[in-house]
């Protein structure tokens, strides 16, 4: 600390200014006052901070407060075991399994879309693209993340659903072929190469050609067969689980990409350079070194993507068809489903008039399940990220 004595700044060359009469160093009492003020200020900052962060407890408390009356009135059994959802029937039935199933299948579909795409995009962003190209791609991801969910829902309902309904088979076939074509070409080339490796030196070139042609023909037949099969499908309703899964997958993409890119970056240069020094190609380096090292971070990305898909309301409410039953064979994604969030949003309008009834409280019970699930998932992903950071020594 500075000495508590008055020091006057004086300069012999220039006449002392009026304002410089104020001392630059404070005396003991002002210092104490300031420290007190500082403490008070800090206390104020702390209380604002904790108020804003502790709202999460408020949320838990008030959702739980309205959720428990439901379990008191109706018990746990029906809620968690039955698939019959007739909240306005007489007697009302509150079996939510079909709704939980709807949320589950839609989320699985979203993960199936967003994780492969998102992780490969993240690999490309972190290891393949040069810095300048990355600066162009990043805004694309940001814009995808910024588009409001109701706009995605509108697209799903007004543009995508009619397309699926009118040209369902063609859309499915085109999508499947586009996905399969590059994979099959790659597979054929690699497989024919592996076969050729087993032949004698002289025949190798011929063997490669023959194997390539045979396998290529087989792959082509397979693709046309699958394309035909899919092309024959007629979709009765465009508002179904597939539609919602694809859109939710696109919505979850930015989260998956940015979190897994962070994880891949965190794996560090030294790991990569070590692998390159051993003669590995870039693909081998990434697949065998970088991805295993950052697996936990990628897992966290997947969890966050799942949370985004589970918590999304508008898209599923608008475009999932809202039928509270488990589809024919359970994996039939072309049937309409109903999710937790959509049920809460859709039924509250009617249930609001009967505040205090089971019909009102069951929605809070669902919200509580959502909340508890997202809380646990969040803790898990936080834990994973923290542990992996410790492991990588950062």
Partner 1 sequence: MRLKTRRLLDRAFSGMGLIAIGVMALALVVILTPIISKGTGAFVFRSTIEHRKVMSDHWGRGNADRVEKAKGQAAAARKPVYDLLSAFESELDTMPRAERKPYKKPLRDLQKALQNLLGPAPGARTPVLIRQQYGATRWDRAKIKLDEVLYTEEWDYSNPEVLGVLVKTPRVEQFCGTKLEPLFAYVEENSKPMMQPRWTFYWQFLFDTSKDSHIFGGIGPEVLGTVYLTLGAMIFAIPMGVIAAIYLCEYAREGRVISFLRICISTLAGVPSIVFGLFGLAFFLNTIHISDSKSVLAGALTLSLLILPTVIRASEEAILAVPRTYKEAALSLGAGRWHTVMTVILPAALPGILTGIVISMGRAAGETAPIIFTAAVSVGRPLLPSQVLSNPTPALPWNIYNLCTEHEAVDEIRHVQFGMVFTLVAVVLLLNVVAIIMRAKISKKLRG
Considering only residues 111 to 140 of the shown chain, the ones binding partner 1 according to CB under 8 A are 116-118, 120-121, 123-125, 128-129, 137, 139-140
Q: Which is nearer to partner 1, 84 or 163 (CB)?
A: 163
Q: Which is nearer to partner 1, 87 or 118 (CB)?
A: 118
List, in order, residues 6 or more apart from 375 with CB less than 8 Å away.
Answer: 60
142 binds partner 1 (CB under 8 A): yes
325 binds partner 1 (CB under 8 A): no
Q: Which is nearer to partner 1, 197 or 273 (CB)?
A: 197
Q: Helical H runs in the chain?
A: 28-74, 77-81, 97-123, 131-146, 149-154, 161-197, 204-231, 241-266, 269-277, 282-285, 291-293, 295-311, 314-319, 340-351, 358-391
Quick one: DSSP state of residue 331? Answer: T
- Map tokens 């990220």 to a residue: 385
Number of residues that bind partner 1 (CB under 8 A): 99
Verify cis geometry, omega within 30 degrees of 0, for the bond prior to 377. Answer: no
Using the contact rule CB under 8 A, the part of the chain among 33-41, 74-82, 261-269, 329-337 near partner 1 is 33-41
* Among the listed residues 8, 46, 278, 387, the single contact to partner 1 using CB under 8 A: 46
Using the contact rule CB under 8 A, the part of the chain among 78-86, 145-153, 225-233, 267-275 near partner 1 is 145-153
Quick one: DSSP state of residue 17? Answer: P
User: In terms of DSSP bridges, do strands 85-86 and 93-94 run parallel, antiparallel, or are they unpaired?
Assistant: antiparallel
Q: Which is nearer to partner 1, 33 or 218 (CB)?
A: 33
152 binds partner 1 (CB under 8 A): yes
Partnered with residue 86 across adjacent β-strands are: 93
Tokens found for residue 16: 């002392």
- Map tokens 């965190």 to a residue: 266
97 binds partner 1 (CB under 8 A): no
Q: How far apart are CA 314 and CA 134, in angstroms?
A: 31
Least separation, in Å, of the C-beta of 15 and partner 1?
25
Considering only residues 211 to 250 of the shown chain, the ones binding partner 1 according to CB under 8 A are 234, 236, 250
Q: Which is nearer to partner 1, 105 or 304 (CB)?
A: 304
List, in order, residues 6 or more apart from 216 with CB less than 8 Å away.
Answer: 188
* Among the listed residues 9, 33, 36, 51, the single contact to partner 1 using CB under 8 A: 51
Q: How far apart are CA 24 and CA 9, in angstroms?
A: 8
36 binds partner 1 (CB under 8 A): no
Q: Which is nearer to partner 1, 16 or 37 (CB)?
A: 37
Q: How far apart are CA 373 and CA 312, in angstroms?
A: 14
Q: How far apart are CA 258 and CA 304, in angstroms?
A: 11
Considering only residues 247 to 306 of the shown chain, the ones binding partner 1 according to CB under 8 A are 250, 253, 257, 281-284, 286-287
Q: Which is nearer to partner 1, 49 or 88 (CB)?
A: 49
Least separation, in Å, of the C-beta of 185 and partner 1?
9
The 3 state secondary structure assigned to 234-249 is CCCCCCCHHHHHHHHH
**Contacts with partner 1, 156-185, as mask; x by CB under 8 A:** -xxx----------------------x---
147 binds partner 1 (CB under 8 A): yes
* Among the listed residues 10, 12, 52, 132, the single contact to partner 1 using CB under 8 A: 52
Least separation, in Å, of the C-beta of 155 and partner 1?
5
30 binds partner 1 (CB under 8 A): no
Residue 339 near residue 320, CB atoms below 8 Å: yes
49 binds partner 1 (CB under 8 A): yes
């Amino acid at each position: 600390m500075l000495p508590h004595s008055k020091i006057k700044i004086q300069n012999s060359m220039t006449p002392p200014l009026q304002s410089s009469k104020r001392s630059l160093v404070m005396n003991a009492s002002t210092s104490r006052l300031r420290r007190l003020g500082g403490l008070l200020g800090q206390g104020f900052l702390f209380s604002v901070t904790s108020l804003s962060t502790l709202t999460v407890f408020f949320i838990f408390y008030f959702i739980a407060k309205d959720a428990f009356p439901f379990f008191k009135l109706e018990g746990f059994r029906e809620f968690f075991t039955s698939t019959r959802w007739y909240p306005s029937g007489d007697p009302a039935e509150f079996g939510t399994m079909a709704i939980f199933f709807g949320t589950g299948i839609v989320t699985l579909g979203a993960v199936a879309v967003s994780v492969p795409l998102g992780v490969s995009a993240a690999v490309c962003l972190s290891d393949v693209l040069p810095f300048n190209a990355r600066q162009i791609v990043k805004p694309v991801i940001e814009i995808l993340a910024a588009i409001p969910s109701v706009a995605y829902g509108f697209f799903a309902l007004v543009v995508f659903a009619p397309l699926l309904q009118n040209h369902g088979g063609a859309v499915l076939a085109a999508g499947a072929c586009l996905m399969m074509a590059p994979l099959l070409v790659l597979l054929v080339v690699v497989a024919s190469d592996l076969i050729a490796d087993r032949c004698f030196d002289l025949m190798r070139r011929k063997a490669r050609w023959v194997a390539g042609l045979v396998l290529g023909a087989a792959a082509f037949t397979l693709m046309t067969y699958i394309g035909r099969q899919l092309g024959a499908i007629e979709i009765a309703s465009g508002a179904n689980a597939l539609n919602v899964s694809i859109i939710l997958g696109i919505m979850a993409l930015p989260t998956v990409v940015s979190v897994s890119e962070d994880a891949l970056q965190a794996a560090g240069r030294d790991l990569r350079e070590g692998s390159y020094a051993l003669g590995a190609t870039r693909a081998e380096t990434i697949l065998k070194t970088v991805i295993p090292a950052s697996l936990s971070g990628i897992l966290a990305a997947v969890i966050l993507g799942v949370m985004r898909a589970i918590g999304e309301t508008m898209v599923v409410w608008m475009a999932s068809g809202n039928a509270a039953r488990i589809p024919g064979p359970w994996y039939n994604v072309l049937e309409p489903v109903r999710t937790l969030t959509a049920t809460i949003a859709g039924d509250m309008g009617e249930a609001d008039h009967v505040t205090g009834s089971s019909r009102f409280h069951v929605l809070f019970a669902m919200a509580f399940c959502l909340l508890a699930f997202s809380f646990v998932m969040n803790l898990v992903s936080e834990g994973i990220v923290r542990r992996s950071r410790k492991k990588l020594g950062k």
